[in-house]
Amino acid sequence: MKAGRIIFRIVIILIIGVVIGSTVYTINAKRVMHDELPMPFGFGVSVVLTGSMEPTLKVNELVFITKADDYKEGDIVVYQQNNDLIIHRIVMISGDQVVTQGDNNNTADEPFPPERIKGKLRFSIPYVGLLIRAIRSVPGVIIILGLSAFLMHRSWQKEKNDGDSELDAIKEQIRQLKNEMETSENRVDGLVAENASQAGTISEIQAEIERLKRETAMTSAPAEKGGAGTTDSGDNETLAQS
């Protein structure tokens, strides 16, 4: 459980770092370098905003772009025109000029040098772009950071509550042990008292037996003395008659 919470917090921290880092990087690239599609390590992502490439690419489709050493007719490429990004298909390459056109457009775009191409399409994911647009917006960033902070707080609070519960459980166990010890002590005291009572009763019985023995001895002693006197008298009488 504890390891799961640590992993959860690490994930939240990573999400916060990625959101803040990507936001700062994108803002810096757009405002300072006037680059609408930063491509660190030759890789970039963007979102389709218009239907000019339908049905191949739809609005809010997330596209993954990579740089290439060369381009050919039929490649879907992204290039920057002023402050706008355009993703169209190459329909012609003539010398140092490239001509593109949207699959859903009737006319071709103005020719431009191939140096303006940011990269070509590798793959795309439908509808995910809507989420990316929301995340990259200022309200989206605020919501993500606020939600992350809330989840972190909940995680810490839950851990604290669990710790309090464990402490209460330990206290309850200690209380039960005390009660069991008191019960055991009471049982021991009862047994000692019972044994003492039995010992007292035995002593009384032994004393009574001794008393009876003494009384019996005292009673039998005079009787023995009386029998001896009669015999002596008879003997004397017999001697006298002789």
**Residue 212 counted as domain residue:** no
Name the band, by pLDDT with cuts 50, 70 and 90, for residue 34. Answer: low
Name the band, by pLDDT with cuts 50, 70 and 90, for residue 238. Answer: very low
Q: What is the pTM of this model?
A: 0.53
Q: CATH number, domain at 100? A: 2.10.109.10
Helical H segments across the chain, by residue range: 2-31, 128-136, 138-241
Q: CB under 8 Å to 124, separation ≥6 — which residues?
A: 48, 57, 61, 62, 63, 64
**Residue 70 counted as domain residue:** yes
Domain count, the chain: 1
**Residue 10 counted as domain residue:** no
Cα dihedral 16→20→26→27 (10° resolution): 150
Name the band, by pLDDT with cuts 50, 70 and 90, for residue 79. Answer: very high
**Residue 141 counted as domain residue:** no
Cα three-residue angle 100-105-109, rounded to 5 degrees: 30
Beta strands per DSSP E along 54-96 = 62-66, 76-81, 84-94
**DSSP state at residue 112:** B
Residues 127 and 61: beta-carbon distance below 8 Å: yes
**Residue 29 counted as domain residue:** no
**Residue 221 counted as domain residue:** no
* Helix (H) or strand (E) run with residue 1 in it: none
**Residue 24 counted as domain residue:** no
The DSSP line for 167-214 is: HHHHHHHHHHHHHHHHHHHHHHHHHHHHHHHHHHHHHHHHHHHHHHHH
**Residue 73 counted as domain residue:** yes
Range of the domain at 104: 39-136
In a 13 Å sphere around the CA of 102, the CA atoms on its Cβ side amount to: 17
- Rounded to whole angstroms, the Cα distance separating 190 from 173 reads 26
pLDDT value at residue 31? 62
Cα dihedral 70→74→75→79 (10° resolution): 90
Residue 183 burial class via C-beta count within 10 angstroms: exposed 0-12, middle 13-18, buried 19 and up: exposed
Residue 124 burial class via C-beta count within 10 angstroms: exposed 0-12, middle 13-18, buried 19 and up: buried
Q: Pull the structure tokens for residue 205.
A: 């019985």
Q: pLDDT exceeding 70 applies to what percent of the chain?
A: 76
pLDDT value at residue 148? 81
